[in-house]
Structure 1
């Protein structure tokens, strides 16, 4: 149910949102099987195979799926019961500003870095207490947008580096052809999702409809004049008089919309099938939350992804006769090129610099804002 991209006849990725429901002329980017677009009202839109689903899709663990972290799901792998327990802890901590005793902390909360132990002592128990981390505030919708963005960007970049490193074995060699195709396809799908949110602008509108004041959040890749004309058409089927005022627009901030909806879900005001409208008791506080966000400055890596350079490179690799033909391993030339490309990435260069300065693997990873696993792959590729 997680596959949201297919391949067209020109070997271009096509998202499920861009095709009609039902049978398509697209193929699975992993196995080449024919795809059917599923667009129900309950489950997320996705592609399924018209025949038997390939193992690469059906057997994927949730953590292995090449999806943007914290983009359209904010439970951070917690079960429904665990999430409710976390929310109860938050509401209690928010009301009394106290810490959380270790007896109330289940392993999932610390394993996912949602709670951390601090030096604060509970006077009643004499024990140190746990407190919410910035990451832990996301499932309970309590992290301000100005803090959400840098954290989200960091997580997106970390997963990108993990996918880039995944084409190598632990010894630093390029994976065998069959596994390499899967990892390159993962990376291509992930970069397509990054490009989608970077292409989009976030907008925030004030809507006056028959004397009622509402607010709308949304994203668009078109001009605001075209989007507002469309919004007016939608609303006039529900209201007599409609006035729309643009309060702000943020370029390249397509990542924010769904977290905003999650954070302010209690104020959601559906209008028929329109779900992006809100009615706030204190709209000024919401506007401050939005207006305090810093403008998005694209990194060189993001710029390449936005311009489609990364996709062209990955598409060319996947179409290469060595990778496509089923060779057991790629040539020495291609292996050298893949290694050079990996080691020249900014994050890899930061790891290499830190290692040359005598830093440990863990410290080098921290300095480069990558996982220890990625830093270990960088070292392995250097030594291979």
Structure 2
């Protein structure tokens, strides 16, 4: 009998040990996205600690709003609204002065400052904005976009959008639903066009003085350019853009004027002059400008997009690939003003952001 009780006691101890021991935690396997990756632009995310003064629960018009404490997997679909010049100069929740030309937004419950990817559900356009204000408080509205962001997405006040949060770690790494299928383009800048020294305002050629003999002419590349004095944005509006390529290689300036030999070429005198055939210089062949409208990871989509734009605007074009990135470019144009004119047409007629680069 004692042996039986002894075995019962041992079994009870072992059973209680099994019950008290917590189950081994199951490791969550993060699903890897294997679809196409698209390069988009907008506000460039950088690490900013959440402001504790503006991330407390609050009430507006009797409605309570609870700040999202863990937005790592936050996504939301709803109607977007926009605000522009009527709010210029107002102070945002973060204490900043509102600028309608900046790529910013207001959200009622996301922690601020933060970054989100906003997608126009109707046309697929995407842009990254920085959330630095509170609102909107109209039923059905989920986000207020600055005028610049709204224009780039081509939205009205009845447009459905999708919001995806972008988590920025202290080391600058990006994650979250806003990074699924997306890479964010670095801001790209181009030098202003050089003045036309080959002709006067009346179209009469002007003679240029030769440089001093002792002056040393040195080539520069992008690595030697620093500070804000060296570069300026191409567009006069906000620096944000929908799509952009990776930075050009060192030694190539995005808006460098094509090098053309300014020395006049005198044709030889012959007894019986006939048709004279001139061979263009290599710089004339390879120089010029192209207007880049976007970069995709799908070659077929990029080709289709290029052909559609070329047909619509009556200009040549090509798809330039670098690895798995396919850049849609229109041109080339021999003069930068031609590229600027097309850039303006793209903006006015198709609400398509673009920028000018030197043709390879």
Same fold (TM over 0.5): no
- Give the structure with higher Rg (CA): 2
TM-score, normalised relative to structure 2: 0.25
Which structure shows the higher helix fraction? 1
More strand by percentage: 2
TM-score by length of 1: 0.24
